[in-house]
Structure 1
């Protein structure tokens, strides 16, 4: 697995019961997965020689992130090394411009968008969205995104004027403009697909964001009609098939007030919106990702409980962690805590908790209390 973050750490954990020998390419020995994997290579994934040396002897290569240069992945494939997902699929998660163009060709519903060249072009894009005869609107706000490299709110701007639109262009990379969707809530459809085309779909979840970072995930999404949930799952499965995805695919969605779903982002790896599956599904996203990239039969994605809630633990003012564990575990014996071994930084994801049960309000309260106590924002 290329990348030493928490996704690699939890994917490694899922492979242990199967006796899988797991090799890791990590930036530093302190990375989350490097702390627990026995076979670790420290190196730069952007260096092709490093990648080739690392891949030698591996049965298959997969990823903790989407940042490995596309041309390097093509070189690995040319060397005869299976890469899953492959570069032709992964580029759609690496490059938002490529993703939007492909989804348009597939007639997948998306927000209005196009690549823009400068702030004046942003003004023109905003104006294109003004209804005919509306003289009070200039089309702002709009969303600007760097086509590569953004995540967790980074590389994304909500701009309300030409002056505010200047910042994204300073990096000198292409910029994608999108309409700011007036959505009801954010959803995510998680699916897994194997090389021979077997695929499974998890229940569609509600993903609640705070400052552009995932805070809470509720599985399944409360109040979502069976019809719209089915449409979202079918859409995600179709995208996975058409793009040739092997492994886990997360399709982040906007639910609109008129009962539609629009595709916001794609991620081709285990995803924060699927962390609830560790304790809430028959087969977790991590276990199914391992099965998929090794072309093993996929596991049952169905939920174990009526409701499962995942709450992220973000960096803050930590009390003594042992004391925090004493409190959280004694208060809620069913609580599942997953910490990543990461240094605490304000706002950084350092862990998550999962709760489950039959009463959604109670399950939500348990998850948010535990996440807040582990962060240090709740003290009793």
Structure 2
């Protein structure tokens, strides 16, 4: 019998699940937030993912539910589980991607290396944290932030007064040590409900203005120790929180050669887009295999190097599709993936993957191909 997979959220991650779902013989259905979203080709319903009745109506005809994002409220998720719906990842795991304070506390229980941190609910508490950590801190809103939103580097407690003013009774912000790091890495793990896990190679991510701009797979210069530690961290988190599907662990590599966990994502992730064309099993296929409880595929790279470059913003005039021909003609080795989104400054509207034997050539080609769309 064909497995019917329901995806809540109609963004580009759901869009990129469509092709592997077809290839795996899965029936993919999407609950989109609005008409005309990226995954409109598979959208069978449009509605508010925060409304329990809407979500219940959507999941009535699916066998398993997964997500394009982590924003579905816990009360909705737990109601679905109580109804007997298979939800992957489940609410017990997803809470650690939804609330950064909850995540930090759980990682501490697991003994996972991470920056020093504390909840702070007023400027005085934040100032004390700053004073205890060299005169600076990173402040984050625990819920809802992404792509640099909800994150602020501060040198004085009063610099987050507007966020403190918006806190409800009993809420707090997250203050973190301002880590001195040499680069950012990401480790991806896939895990099935029964516990089977596979680890992808650790990759280097390049951020610009808080947004992932490039990914190099595998991470250049990552020796056996870095690879081993990153994989061990990822596997311990996946097992410790019981995640099902894809898990992305964002890491800092510090200047004193430590790896510290920055954030978690429990879905396909920007740091794994390279795997669509650069790994034996891409992350979107792997996520579907995992949530449908199918045997996991090999995560090994197909080529020595793969570079992913995001297309951010798009052309100022005309549609993204108008640039396809020139990009394809000039860079026939580049694999182009677009999201069906209208261009907007800083918006992720697509990405380019290039594989090859020489890193310098692969980086140049990926950047040049992506630049044709800007």
TM range (shorter): over 0.9
CA distance in structure 1 between the aligned counterparts of 2:370 and 2:162, rounded to whole angstroms:
34
Q: What residue number does 1:378 align with?
A: none
User: What does 1:131-170 align with in structure 2 at a 5 Å threshold?
Assistant: 139-170=134-165
Q: What residue number does 1:18 align with?
A: 24
Answer whether contact 1:10 1:286 (CA < 8 A) is retained.
yes
Match of 1:115 among 103, 119, 123: 119
Answer whether contact 2:139 2:173 (CA < 8 A) is retained.
yes
Q: What residue number does 1:41 align with?
A: 45
User: What does 1:215-294 align with in structure 2 at a 5 Å threshold?
Assistant: 215-294=213-292
Answer whether contact 1:89 1:244 (CA < 8 A) is retained.
yes
CA distance in structure 1 between the aligned counterparts of 2:123 and 2:207, rounded to whole angstroms:
28
Question: Structure 1's 246 and 27: CA in aligned 2 closer, same or farther, altered over 3 A?
Answer: same
User: What does 1:78-93 align with in structure 2 at a 5 Å threshold?
Assistant: 78-93=82-97
Answer whether contact 2:66 2:89 (CA < 8 A) is retained.
yes
Deviations along 1:253-307, one digit per CA (max 9) or x if unpaired, are 0001121100000000000000000000000000010000000000010000000
Residue 141 of structure 1: how far off its partner (Å): 2.0
Structure 2: segments with no counterpart, 5+ residues: 1-6
Q: What residue number does 2:333 align with?
A: 334
Q: TM-score, normalised by structure 1?
A: 0.94
Q: What residue number does 2:36 align with?
A: 30
Q: Secondary structure at the match of 1:250?
A: strand
Answer whether contact 2:203 2:215 (CA < 8 A) is retained.
yes
Answer whether contact 1:318 1:374 (CA < 8 A) is retained.
no
CA distance in structure 1 between the aligned counterparts of 2:217 and 2:15, rounded to whole angstroms:
23
Residue 216 of structure 1: how far off its partner (Å): 0.2
Match of 1:54 among 53, 58, 62: 58
Q: What residue number does 2:4 align with?
A: none
Residue 149 of structure 1: how far off its partner (Å): 0.4
Residue 174 of structure 1: how far off its partner (Å): 2.5
CA distance in structure 1 between the aligned counterparts of 2:17 and 2:152, rounded to whole angstroms:
32
CA distance in structure 1 between the aligned counterparts of 2:124 and 2:315, rounded to whole angstroms:
43
Residue 323 of structure 1: how far off its partner (Å): 4.9
Q: Secondary structure at the match of 2:333?
A: coil
- Please provide the CA RMSD for this pair: 1.1
Match of 1:196 among 194, 197, 208: 194
Question: Structure 1's 333 and 317: CA in aligned 2 closer, same or farther, altered over 3 A?
Answer: closer
CA distance in structure 1 between the aligned counterparts of 2:90 and 2:242, rounded to whole angstroms:
8
Match of 1:70 among 65, 74, 79: 74
Q: Please identify, of 11-20 and 189-198, the stretch whose mean Cα deviation from structure 2 is larger.
A: 11-20
Question: Structure 1's 322 and 123: CA in aligned 2 closer, same or farther, altered over 3 A?
Answer: closer
Question: Structure 1's 235 and 87: CA in aligned 2 closer, same or farther, altered over 3 A?
Answer: same
Q: TM-score, normalised by structure 2?
A: 0.95
Answer whether contact 1:219 1:309 (CA < 8 A) is retained.
yes
CA distance in structure 1 between the aligned counterparts of 2:39 and 2:354, rounded to whole angstroms:
24
Q: Secondary structure at the match of 2:125?
A: helix
Moved runs in structure 1, 4+ residues, more than 6 A? none
Residue 319 of structure 1: how far off its partner (Å): 5.0
Aligned length: 364
Q: Secondary structure at the match of 1:163?
A: helix
Q: Secondary structure at the match of 1:362?
A: helix
Structure 1: segments with no counterpart, 5+ residues: 130-138, 376-380
Answer whether contact 2:125 2:157 (CA < 8 A) is retained.
no
CA distance in structure 2 between the aligned counterparts of 1:310 and 1:344, rounded to whole angstroms:
19
User: What does 1:97-112 align with in structure 2 at a 5 Å threshold?
Assistant: 97-112=101-116
Q: Secondary structure at the match of 1:24?
A: strand
Q: What residue number does 2:3 align with?
A: none
CA distance in structure 1 between the aligned counterparts of 2:58 and 2:301, rounded to whole angstroms:
37
